[in-house]
Structure formats: C-alpha cells, structure tokens
Chains A and B, each alone.
Chain A
Amino acid sequence: MAIVRTEKLSKVYNPDTVPVHALRDVSIEINEGEFTAVRGPSGSGKTTLLNMIGGLDKPTSGNVFINGQEISKMKDSKRIDFRLQNIGFVFQHYNLIPVFTARENVSFIMLLQKRNKKEIQQRADELLEQVGLGERKDARPVQLSGGQQQRVAVARALASEPKFILADEPTANLDTESAMNLLDIMEKMNHEQNVTFVFSTHDQRVIDRARRVITMVDGAIHKDEIQHTDEKQDA
C-alpha cells in the first residue's frame, strides 16, 4: 500500500513577481518499507518535494496523501499535529536540542505526543541502544561527534513511531565512516522493522545503498528506477 502519494504536485514561488517553478506536476507513490533516495542537482526540486511530502509546505496545485489522508489542504495546526504523529524528520545539520541530553532529545518528541513517562524512558533507551549510543545517552550534543549526533537524530525520528522518515541530506556533513555507519543503522531498521525511509541527497554513498532512486531535474521527475533488490525483497 502507498504510504505517500502525490498527484500532479506543483509549486511556484513568487507567482506574482518572478515565478520559479520548483515542482511541475509531480506524481509519485512511495510504499511501506521503501528505502528511497531522491536525487538531483541543486534547484531540481528535491527539497521542495520533501517539504510537500513532510507537510512542511503547501503546494500551489495538486494533492499530497499520507496513508490516504490529504494533508495539503489541512489547517496549519492540524498539519503540525499530523506531522507529530505520522512523520519522522532527519536534518542535514542534525538539529538536536543542545541543552538536552541524547536521551532527552529522543524523549522530547514522545512527550509532545503525551505518552506515558515510563514508556518514553524505556523507548528512548531502546532506540539509543539500537543506534549504538546506549552508553552515551546522558551526553549532550556538544559532547557527541557529528555521526553520533545524526544517530541520535535518527533515534528521535523513530521515537514517535512515524509512518515514514524523511531524511534531508543526512550524510552531507559526515565523514565516510560515520556516513556508512549511519546508513547501516537505517538499512537495518528498514530491513528488520520495515521502517520506510525517503532521502533527499547528492551523496553517491546514499544513492548506492538506496533500492529506489528518483532523479529530479527542473522540478519534474526525470527518472524513477529500482536500483537493486536486496535480501529483504528476495525473502
């Protein structure tokens, strides 16, 4: 079943002055369990597409359905709550709360969801274990390396039990070892827990690991290809 579906999605910035067509009639479907990379040169529209899918921006025309629900017409307050309950985000600059520990960063989103405190602590600890930071849960972001911070960000994105995770250039600031380590973790979660990941990226290391690669040029989908099957699909 398609978790994400867009229909003729278009976005025009500055329509009254100097119109910039960031998206042109983009229609895609992303199914549960996919490990998809959206690539393309700067200005190709991949970030805009992710913003639309993530409910962070509204299209000029067209529709976005998440799990069957049309989100582009939702009121702001409803969309914020929808994001909280359904979408996980990983940012290029990690964007952790610097005054919180790793555990508090992971817990915070669950507190916003008003979950039970005991459950929150337990889940935060489990997720940090899964991303290999069980020992560093009381460290603040400044005490962690870039790769470790991004792993905390992945744990945070997973904490809310979202339908899918949007990762915007997640490896852009990481060295090869940290990037590969992060991709291993995300791939493992995809395989073992069927977590759906959608990346926007320039990074060939990510593109090589993605099973589906959507290439965008000038706001439109230029290519949409299944790169390789993996053990999970083989199974």
Chain B
Amino acid sequence: MNEIFKISWRNIWRNPGRSGVLLAAIVAGVWAGVTTSAVTNGFVDQRFDRLINEVSHLQIHHPEFRTERETSMFIPQAEEIIEFLSRDDRLETLSARAIAEGLIQSPANNAGIQVFGVDPDLEQATTSIQDDIVEGEYLDSDIRNPIIIGRKLAEKLNADLGMRLVLTFQDVDEDLTSTVFNVAGIYTSLSGAEERLVYTRMSDLQEHLSENPVYHQIAVVLRDEAQIESFVAELNDTFPGSETLSWYNLSPELRLYADLGNQVVYYLMGIIMLALAFGILNTMLMAIFERTRELGMLMAVGMNKARVFFMICLESILITLTGASAGMMLSALSIRYLHSNGLDLSAFSEGLAEFGYDAILYPSLGAESFLGITLMVAIIAIMASIYPALKAIRLEPAVAARE
C-alpha cells in the first residue's frame, strides 16, 4: 500500500507542468467557489438577521389581526401567555406590543402609519431599534409622550426632533382618538419600516387604547432556532384562542430567498466541480496514454487489476485533494479577512439599499460547509478517476508492454 501511495504521488510530479496547471485550476476553482459561497451566505445571513430583528423567531396574534388589522382584535389571554413564555428556558427574549393603524399629522403634512406601543427595555432587547436611531433619543427620553419616527417619514412630514405630531387612531371600542406625541428620535432602516412604523411607549399608547392593558403582538426570540417549529406547535396547542406563527410563515419570501441562496451556491459549486472533473479526466487520460507501456509492464509482471485501478484513482485523489486543500486554505484566509474587514460594496450601495442590503457585506461560511465542499471535491476526484482507471485495467499487458 505504501509503495502504491509512493508511486502514485511521484507519478503526479512526472509532468510538473501539466500537474501544476491542473493544481492551479483546482486551487482557483475551489477558492472561487468557496469564497463566492461565503459571499452569497453573507447576503442571506444579512437578510436573515435583519428579518429576525424585525419579525423575531415567532409572533403571537389574535387569529384575525394580521388580515383585519383592527385594534379591537387584541390577543386573548395575553398576560397568561407572557407569563407562560417568561417561565420557559427556551426563550431568549420577548416584546409584547400594542398596535394601532392610524394617521400622523404635522403642520406640513400627514401620513398613514402603524403605531407600535412597546416596553422600551424589552423592545430594545428584541430588536435593534435603539441602535437604528440616528438623531435624538430612544423611548427612555425624559420628554412627555415621546415618539420615534423613521427618517423618510420625518422628511415627508417635514418633522424635526421635538416637533409635536398628532396621532389619530381607533381605540378597542372602535372610537377615534387623537393625541399629541413629541418627536424624541429618528431612526433609519433598510426595510420599508421607516416610512410607516412609529414607536411610542406602551403606557402612553395604552392610555388611549383601552382601560385595561391590551396586546396585539408578542414577538419572541428563542435561544435555539432549531426549536422554532416545535415551540410554535406547542403554543398553538396551549393557547388555541390566539395564532402563533414562525418567521417563515410570517415572511415566506425570506425562506424562499434563503433556499434560493443555497441553490445558487449548489449550482455554482456544481459547475466548478464539473469543470474540475473534466480537468482531472483529461489529465488522467493523457497520463494513461503516455504510460501505456509502463502500465502494461506492471500488469505483465504481476500487479493485479485492483492495485492498478487503485493506483490511478489514488493519483487523481492525491492531486485533487492537494489542490483542494490549498484552495480551502486560501478561501479560509480570504473569508476570514473579509469577515473581519467587510467586503466594501459601496459602489453599488444605492442598488443594494433598494433590496434591503448594507453596502458592507460580511461573508461567512460554516465549518460544515467547508467539510461538505471537501467531501464534494473528494467524490468528484474519485468519480473522475474511475474512467481512466477502467481504461488502464482494460489494457492488454502483452500489447501494452510492447507499445
């Protein structure tokens, strides 16, 4: 076995030029494939993180709230649900929200909006709203009836920090109510939220919604994503009067996008692997053609077919794994650098923002993906070596040894 390994390894270097070109192709192919996978992954992760930040892992509503958006459709047994969730170890954080659809008015303009009444501490732990504030303060501001609005809405209303804005919405009895809020902060968001979503303190909104506290949405983040599905099922069983949905029911397009991202990676790797397979096949066939006499001799003197087959396969596996290892190392270094420093796509920032992406992308790839790609390369190497190896063992030793 040791000798077969030795002969295979040395055979690779018989033609350093040809093996060098194949190695370079493997290194470049693996590097390009893995790095592109990491960039695609970075896009998907960025989108996913943003969505989880906005939607959370799961949300609980009144069964009809999502379609009707009526203030009167608050979650039955909401406090019981919150208590149930708070006791569960699987929970990372939650934010219970009162929501009202309404109209916001400034002296200059008005707009249709959605008001989120939130507990400032819980909302801050659940979403990045506090970090998204680019002007002013968060809801823990000292000013009376503070409100946080998006930059685009502020531009539309021509509103500045401290400006008084009038909010009009229906209470739970479907009576219209109006109240004044003061702009405490302005936030930005890459999603459409900054045009329509405004935040107030739960207590300030509740005051005008109902005599008793009401909640229209409970957003939940779990410690482990893998438990989302079972947790949703459990909540729907335990509290049949409300509706619990996971992020992929709330935002099916993201799931589609994530799947599409994975498919793009698979197709891309597939194309690279196919090119790799033909490269290996071509090189090995040429090697067999050049070494016909030697292979004939080996079989004539008594090297059995299994050993010849193994020797040829081993040659292609060794050269592929050598190239793939170098390609992987290069990819790991590139991804590490890009992950720490970010990939600056500011030249395309406007277009990216349209699709909800930051101009700086942080590519990443999990160890399992590296392992998966290594396995894929190894399988390709084995498959590409089978035909040349079969061709080798089909040689007639008597003829081949005299070529």
Contact = CB atoms under 8 A, between A and B. Distances in A.
Contacts of B307: 112
Interface in B278-304: 293-294, 296-304
A91 B298 CA distance: 12
A112 B306 CA distance: 12
A99 B10 contact: yes
A191 interface: no
A111 interface: yes
Contacts of A57: 396, 398
B3 interface: yes
B93 interface: no
B397 to A, nearest CB: 5
A100 interface: yes
A23 B382 CA distance: 42
B7 interface: yes
A112 B303 contact: yes
A152 to B, nearest CB: 12
Given A95-B293, A95-B294, A77 B305 contact: yes
Contacts of B3: 108, 111
A50 to B, nearest CB: 9
Contacts of A113: 302
B14 A91 contact: no
A51 B302 contact: no
Given A57-B398, A89-B297, A91-B297, A97 B7 contact: yes
A56 B11 CA distance: 25
B302 A91 contact: no
Contacts of B297: 89, 91, 95
Interface string A178-217: 0000000000000000000000000000000000000000
Interface residues of A, number: 30
Interface string B1-17: 00100010011011000
B7 to A, nearest CB: 6
B302 A81 contact: yes
Contacts of B14: 98-99
Given A54-B300, A89-B300, A80 B294 contact: no
A18 B11 CA distance: 40
Contact of A109 (B293, B301, B305): B301
A66 B24 CA distance: 51
B298 to A, nearest CB: 8
B87 interface: no
A93 interface: yes
24 contacts: A54-B398, A57-B396, A57-B398, A76-B305, A80-B299, A80-B304, A83-B301, A84-B301, A84-B302, A88-B301, A89-B297, A89-B301, A89-B401, A91-B402, A93-B293, A95-B297, A95-B401, A97-B294, A97-B298, A98-B294, A109-B301, A112-B301, A113-B302, A156-B301
Interface of B: 3, 7, 10-11, 13-14, 293-294, 296-305, 307, 396-398, 401-402
